[in-house]
Structure formats: structure tokens, C-alpha cells
Amino acid sequence: QSVLTQPPSTSGTPGQRITISCSGSSSNVGGNTVNWYQQLPGAAPKLLIYSTDQWPSGVPDRFSGSKSGTSASLAISGLQSEDEATYYCAVWDDSLNGPVFGGGTKVTVL
């Protein structure tokens, strides 16, 4: 059971905007920046958003991150079939003194 809570799954149609939530506490989301990873089927994870709302080189700006209090969100605009993947939030936890992942959210493009 992760200290970061994500919905197990969500879905959308091509072109739609969807959001994925990541709920934590003051020792992780509330006090530190949030990162998001995308894992395509059969592949290693990939850093998608870092420091809550920053994009690594090559990541399209259809993906965006935000945070409010102890909750964070990843938004995917203009959903595409290649976005079908599992998305994980990740944060440094000050109580554990280490990084933690959320449970992951599987995105299905209908």
C-alpha cells in the first residue's frame, strides 16, 4: 500500500482531456515537488514531468502537471492512442527520507 494514492484506471476518447490524481500528505506531496512517469506496455518507465510542472526534453506539452496542497494532478490534453500506458506519480517523502511511487493509473484510449 503506497503512501501516494492514485486511481487504478481511467479512460478517454481520442482528443479528449483527462486528468490523473495523486494524493499524499504533508511529508511528501505537500512539502516537495511531484514527478510523473509514463510506462508503456513492456517498456521501462520514462520521466514525463518533473518538479511538478516541468517537461524533460522531448515530452509534448499535451502533458501538464499541477499541485495543490497534498494533491497533485497530471493532465493529458488531446489524448492520443499512443498515450495508452500506466502513469505513476513519484515524490520524495521526508518521513521515510526516500522516494516513493504512487500505485499507478492505467490509461485506456477508447
Partner 1 sequence: QVQLVESGGGVVQPGRSLRLSCTASGFSFSDFGMHWVRQAPGKGLEWVAVITDDGSHEYSTDSVQGRFIISRDNSKNTLFLQMNSLRSDDTGTYYCAKDRHQYDTSAQVDSWGQGTLVTVSS
- Rounded least distance, CB 103 to partner 1, Å: 5
By the rule CB under 8 A, 63 interacts with partner 1: no
Distance CA 108, CA 10 (A): 6
By the rule CB under 8 A, 44 interacts with partner 1: yes
Query: Residue 8: what are its φ and ψ, rounded to 5°?
Result: -65, -30
**Are the beta carbons of 69 and 80 closer than 8 angstroms?**
no
Residue number with CB closer to partner 1 (12 or 92): 92
Query: Residue 103: what are its φ and ψ, rounded to 5°?
Result: -70, -15
Interacting residues with partner 1 (CB under 8 A): 2, 32, 35, 37, 39, 44-47, 50-51, 56, 86, 88, 90-92, 96-104
